[in-house]
Amino acid sequence: MFPAAVFLVLARGHRRIKLTQEGAYLYERAQEILSLTDQTTSQLQSGAVVSGTINIGAGESSTVGPVMQALAQIMTHYPHVRVNLVSGDNVTLRQQLDTGLLDFAVLMGHENLTDYNTLPLKRGNRWGVMMTATTPLAQKAAITPQDLVGQPLLTSVQTERQDTFRQWAGDVLSQFNFVGQYNLLFNAGLLVKTGACLALCYDGLVNVEAGSGLVFRPLTPTVIDSNTLVWNKNYHLPNVAQLFIKEMRALINDKNY
């Protein structure tokens, strides 16, 4: 199978055997291939029947509610439909979308999406800072770039490279003290709750009600990330995926949405 090279996939250590770097890579690719094979078989077997699995990825955001509404409509009327929800950042989701592991992804922020079919969602994500209720900054109604100078900040990988956030912070960005990164906010919230740091995040993801010990303060000037449902232009979508697009378009065109 590999005429050009021979790979050592197992390394023997003290009392145990573990995968080499090459072996771990092959294992991950094998998992992806098996997942894609199962998905393809399921879609082919469904034929003209509305069944199979909708594979959809998104970042953490309370604004993906309409996507869940569309899925709920389909699952209610077509009980054989299954849903696979994947959480991740834009880089991870695009990789899985490009390899066919995902049918759809909700990408957040301003990105070049010319390689995809797109359906913009109406609601965006408001950026702000999560902190303990006893933090002095919690007395402010909104947070300016100058407020964050010298503060220990947790952020997502995506935040630091986004032009929108860089434009908001301007030259002050170089004075920010980034002490770590997160990909899912729940655990980051637990660290923030200790008082060790603050976290840049979207609104509506963590309980900040009275008694939670946490508060959320929006950035000023306001920073909003757009949400866009995307799917690959080069892949033929099965019936269930096409039905999902139809349901999403109907929701977006609904004046009450």
Helical H segments across the chain, by residue range:
21-46, 65-77, 90-98, 157-161, 163-169, 185-193, 239-253
How confident is the model over 37-47, as pLDDT tens digits?
765 665 555 44
Q: Mean pLDDT in the chain?
A: 85
Higher pLDDT residue, 130 or 59?
A: 130
Say whether pTM exceeds 0.85: no
Distance from C-alpha of 149 to C-alpha of 172, rounded to nearest angstrom: 7
60 falls in which pLDDT band (50, 70, 90)? Answer: confident
Is the pLDDT confidence value at 80 over 60?
yes
Of 18-32, 94-108, 221-235, 239-253, where does mean pLDDT reach its minimum? 18-32
Of 21-30, 89-98, 127-136, where does mean pLDDT reach its minimum? 21-30
Is the pLDDT confidence value at 17 over 70?
no
Q: Where are the beta strands (DSSP E) in 40-171?
A: 52-58, 81-87, 104-108, 116-120, 125-132, 152-156
Distance from C-alpha of 189 to C-alpha of 170, rounded to nearest angstrom: 26
16: left (phi over 0), alpha (psi -120 to 50) or beta: beta
Distance from C-alpha of 158 to C-alpha of 170, rounded to nearest angstrom: 17
By CB atoms closer than 10 A (0-12, 13-18, 19+), residue 30 is exposed
Give the mean model confidence (pLDDT) for residues 58-64: 88
Q: What proportion of the chain, given as a percentage, has pLDDT over 70?
A: 80
Of 9-13, 134-138, 196-200, where does mean pLDDT reach its minimum? 9-13
Distance from C-alpha of 121 to C-alpha of 107, rounded to nearest angstrom: 10
State residue 36's pLDDT score: 64
